[in-house]
Amino acid sequence: MPRIDEKLLPIFDDVLRRNAGETEFHQAVEEVLESLGAVIAKHPEYVDNALIERICEPERQIIFRIPWVDDKGQIQINRGFRVQFNSALGPYKGGLRFHPSVNIGIIKFLGFEQTFKNALTGLPIGGGKGGSDFNPRGRSDGEIMRFCQSLMIELHRHLGEYTDVPAGDIGVGAREIGFLFGQYKRLTNRFEAGILTGKGLIYGGSRARTEATGYGLVYFVDQMLKRKGIDLADKRVVVSGSGNVAIYTIEKITEFGGKVIACSDSSGYIVDEAGIDLDLLKEIKLVRRERIAEYVQLKGTGAYYTEQGSIWDVPCDVALPSATQNELNGNDATSLIRNGVMAVSEGANMPCASEAVRLFQEAGILFGPAKAANAGGVATSALEMQQNASRDSWTFEETEARLAAIMRRIHDDCADTAETYGAPGNYVLGANITGFVRVAEAMQAMGVI
């Protein structure tokens, strides 16, 4: 496992000092800096021109109060965040997350990752991320709407087709995007479709955006396996989470002939050796908004639910962590390796702890890092922006074909870069270097920004 080059150590120390206590942000920066030793040997000007320091510092961070009234008439206060990380390649682009764990460090780590991910897509989008510590669980539609409207009262002044274009993330799906867009329209008296992505089809959304992150993840995994001469068909797959990314990952794996035998939510996981019944899962999670334990009750025999232990103890060929950051630790990685896993690819952002990534790489397991493997969502958001700008609407097939081509290109760029830098098969290194160099080159061309 590479260590941070000594020329970059003072930069990392500075990041630790200036962002004290933001452990996820430290983890994300460390992982990128570890990949850059060979890059700065080739491009010493990146260090001389303080490009790395500049890339580690967000362009702008906005923190604001979100007051709203719940169904009992009580006033509630949440905190809102938008970190506009880097606009060297295009307007800030990245989702909004509603989850009680949200704080500035989490949003900064996500915005930092997003900058390189967006660069990897090859499309003209910069990096940003936002959200709130609001917990949507158990809230009524009316409460969700009032919360979204209050959030947008502040956020709207920072958005714009050429400035900052948010989308969904954990806890923010089609319902929330609708409330947010409606409030933006009221506040500005303008129908600006290009200020948000993940919109409903009827008012400017893109076909295949809902499916894009999960589908894109599967295209990426398929390419990794193909390069080794392995077919995804008939493989046993475990996918954690049961939200947007997990559901459409399961759908596409099934289309490729693989069998997903386990998935989860934050309360526990289910195993169904016959293959997860996707229609039932969608009914529980997307329609009823219930817990995953319901699956076993409705399915009857053959499936079981576990609250204790880890979903990563379920033997599989391919593991796709698609719930949240640091959900797969070193022990989980050891268990997966012992049980013969051949590929692990990140559907969520940074779901594998650093120790787990190290163990996979040392064991020679194919490992797809999030910034490459889950870039299909933001890539399709950029396709939504293209359709909005040209007031056009493409078919599902056309949009998915573009998504598939983008994912293949991302895969090949990462694989080729890893080879060029003497680390064939190291997709972490390939993704970090490819994304970093694109952002650094654009900033370099624009002077001291």
Q: How far is the CB of 45 from ligand NDP (least distance, A)?
A: 32
> Which of 208, 348, 352, 372 touches ligand NDP by CB under 6 A?
348
In the complex with ligand NDP, the residue whose CB is nearer, 29 or 375, is: 375
CB atoms within 10 A of CB 326: 16
What residues does 303 pair with on adjacent strands? Answer: 272
Return the CA Rg of the chain.
21
Asked if residue 121 binds ligand NDP (CB under 6 A), the reply is no
For residue 244, state whether it binds ligand NDP (rule: CB under 6 A).
yes
Binding-site size, ligand NDP (CB under 6 A): 23
Binder to ligand NDP among 32, 89, 208, 245 (CB under 6 A)?
Answer: 245
Instruction: Pick the closer one to ligand NDP by CB: 12 or 213.
Output: 213
Among 374, 417, 426, 434, binds ligand NDP (CB under 6 A): 374
Residue 129 a catalytic site member: yes
400 sits near ligand NDP (criterion: CB under 6 A): no
Closer CB to ligand NDP, 259 or 285, in the complex: 285
C-alpha closest to that of 2 among 437, 438, 441, 418: 418
Q: Is the dihedral of CA 357, 358, 359, 365 positive or negative?
A: positive
Crossing angle of the two packed helices 427-445 and 23-34, in degrees rounded to 10: 90
Residues 138-177 vs ligand NDP: string with x where CB under 6 A?
------------------------------xxxx------
**Least distance in angstroms from the C-beta of 223 to ligand NDP:** 18
The answer to whether 205 contacts ligand NDP (rule: CB under 6 A) is no
CA atoms within 13 A on the CB side of 80: 22
Element counts in the chain: helices (H) and strands (E): 18, 12
Contacts of 363 (CB under 8 A, 6+ apart): 337
**Which span sits near ligand NDP by CB under 6 A: 32-40, 145-153, 264-272, 425-433?**
264-272
CB 114 within 8 A of CB 90: no
Least distance in Å: CB of 225 to ligand NDP? Answer: 21
- Please give the Cα distance from 262 to 408 (Å, whole number): 26
Of 335 and 374, CB closest to ligand NDP: 374
- Confirm or reject binding of residue 111 to ligand NDP (CB under 6 A): no
Q: Residue with CB nearest ligand NDP?
A: 243
The nearer residue to ligand NDP, 177 or 359, going by C-beta atoms, is 177
Q: Which of 183, 324, 399, 432 binds ligand NDP (CB under 6 A)?
A: 324
**Selected catalytic residue, list 117, 129, 235, 371:** 129
Distance of closest approach, residue 23 Cβ to ligand NDP, in angstroms: 15
Q: How far apart are CA 284 and CA 444, in angstroms?
A: 50
Q: Which of 243, 368, 369, 435 binds ligand NDP (CB under 6 A)?
A: 243
CA distances from 416 to 138, 384, 419, 420, 433 (A): 47, 28, 5, 6, 11
CB nearer ligand NDP, residue 80 or residue 131: 131
Place of tokens 């506040």: 187
Q: Characterise 407 by phi-psi region: left (phi > 0), alpha (psi -120 to 50), beta (else).
A: alpha
Total Cβ atoms within 10 A of residue 51: 19
Q: Which residues have CB under 8 Å from 189's CB, separation 6+?
A: none
Residue (138 or 422) nearer to ligand NDP, CB: 138
When asked if residue 349 is in the footprint of ligand NDP (CB under 6 A), the reply is yes
Nearer to ligand NDP, 40 or 119 (CB): 119
Per CB under 6 A, does 34 bind ligand NDP? no
Q: Using the rule CB under 6 A, is 265 a contact of ligand NDP?
A: yes
Structure tokens at 238: 């475990």
CA–CA distance, 271 with 238 (Å, rounded to integer): 9
Q: Are 310 and 338 in contact (CB under 8 A)?
A: no
Alpha-carbon dihedral sign for residues 313, 315, 319, 320: negative
Is 241 a binding residue for ligand NDP by CB under 6 A? The answer is yes
CA 309 to CA 180: how far, in whole Å? 38
Find the shortest distance in angstroms from Cβ 56 to ligand NDP: 20
* Positions in the binding site for ligand NDP (CB under 6 A): 168-171, 213, 241-246, 265-267, 322-324, 327, 347-349, 374, 377
* Catalytic annotation, residues: 129
